[in-house]
Structure 1
Amino acid sequence: MRSLQDAIYNWLTIKVVMDARPEDESAQQTFQLFDEILKEDFQAENVRVEKDEIMYLVSVMQEGEDKKLRFPVELIDIMINQIEEEPEKYPNYDTELK
């Protein structure tokens, strides 16, 4: 990822999926990956998310500086909306079957 904004976008998109599907281990693992990228590659800390009707508002501390980013709800929620519209395409595989 080239920028903090890209990293936060990916992190937030999968966070929304993970929050909506807490049993989805793939979402949890993907979230952990993006969370590590934020921390290790971008030295991002204390990520806070607020949502209103139009935007996700993200605050993050990076190298001692508080940064704020905004993302349209429709942009972030596209993945979870797609999963909810066509759940048969996104099964949650039981990891105990491995």
Structure 2
Amino acid sequence: MRFEDALFNWLQIQLVAEGRPHDGAALDTRDFFLQILTEDHHVTQIVIDKVDDTMIHVRYEKEGRSKVQMIPREAGEQLLNDIKENPKYN
């Protein structure tokens, strides 16, 4: 899986896990993408560093260097919003 895809998928499911802390499937899926990021892409730390009106700033460490990836907020929050809007999942 490409790094950018793994990072985006981790972000989306991290937001779901934060919004639904008792959702075991979300937690397992988050851990799956974290494993891809750490094992395949050698990321050692990853956090949502900042959220502003338009962007989510994801800070991670790779190869001993701290980096920031900015992802459009609307795209990052889409999965959580879809889950919230579908009564089947609530």
TM score, norm. by length of structure 1: 0.84
- Counterpart in the other structure of 2:47: 48
| CA apart distance, 1:7 | 1.2
Q: Are positions 1:68 and 2:29 aligned together? A: no
- Report deviation, 1:65: 2.0
Query: Could you tell me how far 1:46 is from its partner in structure 2?
Result: 1.7
C-alpha distance in structure 2 between counterparts of 1:74 and 1:27, whole Å: 19
Q: CA RMSD in A?
A: 1.1
Aligned amino acid, residue 5 of structure 1: E
1:16-57 Cα offsets, whole Å, 9 max, x none, are 001000111100110110111111011102212121111000
Percent of pairs with identical residues: 36
Instruction: Give the AA of the match of 2:62.
Output: Q
> SS in structure 1 opposite 2:22?
coil
| Residue segments in structure 1 that go unaligned for 5+ positions in a row | 92-98
Larger Rg: 1
**Deviation sequence 1:47-87 (CA, Å, 0-9, x none):** 12121111000111111122211101100111110111112
Letter in 2 for 1:64: G
